[in-house]
A and B are shown apart, each in its own frame.
Chain A
Amino acid sequence: MISRLLLVVAMSLAVALPAKSETRIEEVTSPKGIKAWLVHDTTLPIVALEFAFRGGAVQDAKGRDGTANMVSGLLDEGAGELKAQEFQSRLEDSAVELSFDTRYDSFFGSLRTLSANEDEAFDLLKLAVTSPRFDQDAIDRIRAQVMARIRQNSTNPEALAHYNFQEQAFPGHPYGREVEGTAETVTSITRDDLVTFHRNNFARDNLVVTAVGAIDAETLGRRLDEAFGDLPATAEITPAAPATLTNVGTLTVVEMDTPQTAISFGRPGPLRKNEDFMAYYVLNHILGGGTFTSRLFNEVREKRGLSYGVFTGLFPLSASGYVMGQVATRNDRAGEAVSVIRDEFRKLAAEPPSEEEIAKAKKYLIGSFALRFDSSNKIARNLLQFQIDNLGIDFINERNALIEAVTREDLARAAKSLLGDGELLVVAVGKPEGLESTGTSSGDR
């Protein structure tokens, strides 16, 4: 299905991935002007659609954190004339998979159907995105689910470390709030909040769509108009104010009676549009990217057995970029784990990686790109993200060449900016030894 996609990819790594067939990415514009990227492939009788409305949880009204999240749970709980149970029966009867999800900057939707049920799938999609009912019984039901999850997470060390990290990193900013909200804010969300969120956030000008599978460009154009054509032309959304991760150099301990301490740590990082983004990307891979070869993996896990997992990732959100990592370690060695991590940040800041280490990292990042495109869903999700990041359809051609072009000097520059003096914002949840709070703790909750 992806071969032309891979053909496109292959232009920059023709050796590694020879082109196989004629599949390609097309840009489709519907009669009503809705744009989408399409990979037309008929190997399987499946159509996968991934889409997003820019906006997301950042658009939650103040004190009503969790509104977008509740909307994501309510779109398949009754729409148009169909009450929740009727709507869900229709989905199940035709084996249509429809789900929604929200993050800080975007509200995501995902549809998967067998070709034979395409009509029904797009009818139901249209109902869900254009006329959700928000019936009171459904609101109560979804609120109860969210509250159950909030209660579960309230004593989950990893979740708490992450929440506290966001709060310390972005105090007073939407990125400092929890996407799913708190017990207090979720309790206060009204039907009006949900209706308002839906009205403001679901429009054609903030919609991004990718389709993959047994659907041609003309049919997709028609389907896009059916599903999304009745939405308002423009969204009423306010972009989040630019922000920089704060409280670097502070450490917060949240006491909890657990045998293991969960730790989140991080620093400010680049936005996606940063010219050096690929250098940061390679740098993060070397430091703590998700393979068994990163420096943190070696130092923390392989050499010292301090943790089962340790990783860092770049988070280039629309209004702020940062690097964040996580680790969980036994209480009596938590201090050691944090100091090993700090040392690795400092080491990398002081001296860029060797040419050999850089070459290996690039080889992995270039070679593994194709693995992100071996199923319809993965192709659709990756292409959607490229669109959300405004990377342009040519990015897939260029991506590997951009990584190849990163030099040791680029990495030195990125390391200086990303790692600076190596100071970190650290939040630890558990009963850690060797860690003392320096920052303001928001305490157990």
Chain B
Amino acid sequence: MFSLSRLMVSALVTATLSHGTLAQAQPANITGPEVETFTLNNGLQVVVIPDHRAPVVTHMIWYKVGAADEPEGESGIAHFLEHLMFKGTKTHPGGAFSAMVSELGGQENAFTSQDYTSYYQRVAKEHLPTVMEFEADRMTGLVLSDEVVNPERDVVLEERRMRTDNDPGSRLSEAIAATLFVNHPYGTPIIGWQHEIEQLDRANALSFYDRFYTPNNAIVVVAGDVTTGEVRTLAEATYGKIERRGDVGPRMRPAEPDLLAARRVTLADPRARQPSLTRTYIVPSYANAEGRQAHALDLLAFILGGGSTSRLHRSLVADQSIAASAGSYYQGDALDQSRFVVYAIPRENIDMERLEKALDAELSKIVKDGVTAEELTRAKKRLVAETIYAQDSQTTLARAYGTTLTTGGTVEDVKEWPSVIEAVSAEEIQAAAKLALQINRSVTGLLLTEEAPPQ
């Protein structure tokens, strides 16, 4: 239970939307066993993560395309296409793929983010050839008719109502992102704006599919009871037969102007019975940070607000008793600029202004004085331990590699992550804090009950 802070985090993070589940923001902080990668002649990259503990495999395909790559006015098409990819192909019409996975006792799903779209199946190892054949087939053979596209659009609109419109906190998050990114498409929600989703059709979906779903724009990750040799043979026999549809070109999105203006967004709603405060800063991601900046930001997020030993928890929740919870996180896995978020949920009858002052005081302190040796040691231990815990789950590892490789990183980046974390100095963290916590590059979001006076 006591995942109040986590609940809030997932409510406040721009949701990564999926066919069936919500993709959690995944830090690129996970290493693995003897991971190998190779590339087929058609440009498709393959990553193999051996895990021989159980005769089970996780097979994922990651397309280097997400919501931020959508044509203007067609917000939501990346995610809508993800749904439509389950509607069948010439070779395997209708729901044949899902029916087959189900009969094999497999599990499947898909998810879309700003930067990638991913599909996966988990099956007993002997079924790997089958799911690879089906997945390769749907890279080119998708068949869509209005009879399946139209009800699915309604499904996506229900998904939007469920995730966003029904929840004041999610509506605020959407407004915060739109205010933080004024030119870059990260300001547009992954699921899309309602009025644009309503206009999406079969032609939009197929044109997006034809442009981005090609082997040279995809990465296949196989984790589990397999060897690189086995996967290479299977990959050549399935994905290897697909021809490139053309060059996707470099992923250049409109850059964000440096506005240098602190922005505030307030959402007052009678249904928001628990107020909250979040501050979101634009910061570099792993893809565009210099040196160990991004690693330092991960450590900073942990020291500042990563748990019950963190500064924000100790100060606002434990010592001053003004917050029910407080914390911070860094979303380092983005192709372009990313976000560093701090948040606090006030206790009953605590004034929001007082809460914000207390939060600001902690932020100023860490910028001015940096972190202690003890804090740094604890944070490093904790983050490096996470990489060992992560090896326990083939799905977690597969997702870590997929996320990194579709947001500008390499297999080596994932492998080296723990040793780079170990190397970060207290000075680098202080520099990262100075870089990240600039009020002029932030949006402060307030969720208030309607009765409260606006700030």
Residues of A whose CB lies within 8 Å of any CB of B are 1-3, 6, 16-18, 20, 41, 43-46, 48, 69, 72-73, 76, 84-85, 88-89, 92-95, 97, 99-102, 112, 114, 137, 140-142, 144-145, 147-149, 151-152, 154-157, 180, 256-260, 262, 291-293, 301-309, 328-330, 360, 363-371, 373-377
Contact = CB atoms under 8 A, between A and B. Distances in A.
Interface string B87-127: 00000000100110011111110000000000000111010
Contacts of B103: 360, 363-364, 367
Given A16-B124, A307-B155, A148 B4 contact: yes
B151 A302 contact: yes
19 contacts: A1-B53, A2-B53, A6-B55, A18-B55, A85-B318, A92-B382, A145-B4, A148-B325, A148-B345, A152-B7, A292-B95, A303-B151, A305-B150, A305-B154, A364-B102, A370-B54, A370-B56, A374-B54, A375-B392
Contact of B166 (A20, A157, A366, A371): A157
Interface string B161-187: 110011111000000000000000000
A180 B345 contact: no
B151 A304 contact: yes
Given A305-B150, A374-B56, A72 B1 contact: yes
B227 interface: no
A371 B56 contact: yes
B167 A46 contact: no
Contacts of A366: 105
Nearest to A20: B55
Interface in B283-299: none
A367 B107 CA distance: 10
Contacts of B155: 301, 305, 307-308
Contact of B55 (A93, A99, A370): A370
A20 B124 CA distance: 13
Nearest to A378: B393
B441 interface: no
A257 B388 contact: no
Contacts of B318: 84-85, 137, 141
Contacts of A2: 53-54
B391 interface: yes
Contacts of A147: 324, 348
Contacts of B394: 374-375
B53 A363 contact: no
Interface in B337-370: 345, 347-348
Given A145-B4, A148-B324, 18 more contacts: A1-B54, A16-B126, A95-B382, A114-B385, A114-B388, A147-B348, A259-B161, A259-B165, A292-B108, A305-B151, A308-B156, A364-B105, A367-B105, A370-B56, A371-B105, A371-B107, A373-B54, A375-B392
Nearest to A115: B388
A258 B167 CA distance: 9
A5 B389 CA distance: 21
A260 B158 contact: yes
Interface on chain A toward B: helix, strand, loop, or mixed SS? mixed
Contact of B388 (A1, A3, A45, A72): A45
Contacts of B52: 20
A48 B158 CA distance: 39
A363 B104 contact: yes
Contacts, number: 214
Interface string B25-64: 0000000000000000000000000001111100000000
A298 B36 CA distance: 40
A91 B207 CA distance: 52
Interface stretch (B239-247, B267-275, B421-429): B267-275
Nearest to B381: A95
B104 to A, nearest CB: 6
A305 B154 CA distance: 5
Nearest to A212: B392
A376 B324 contact: no
Interface stretch (B254-262, B307-315, B410-418, B431-439): B307-315
Nearest to A152: B274
Contacts of A141: 317-318, 321
Contacts of A367: 103-106, 123-124
Contacts of B391: 44
A337 to B, nearest CB: 10
Given A148-B274, A305-B150, A369 B105 contact: yes
A258 B166 CA distance: 6
B213 interface: no
Contacts of A76: 308
Contacts of B381: 92-95
Contacts of B272: 155
Contact of A260 (B105, B152, B165): B165
A16 B273 contact: no
B105 A46 contact: no
Contacts of B102: 291-293, 360, 363-364
Nearest to A360: B103
Contacts of B309: 85, 88-89, 92
A363 B325 CA distance: 45
A371 B122 contact: yes
Contacts of A302: 95, 151
Nearest to A113: B385
Contacts of B108: 292
A85 B313 CA distance: 10
A198 B95 CA distance: 51
A-B interface, 7 closest residue pairs, ranked by CB to CB distance from nearest: A367-B105, A305-B154, A305-B151, A95-B385, A155-B271, A148-B324, A308-B159
Contact of A328 (B95, B154, B162): B162
B392 A44 contact: yes
A45 B103 CA distance: 35
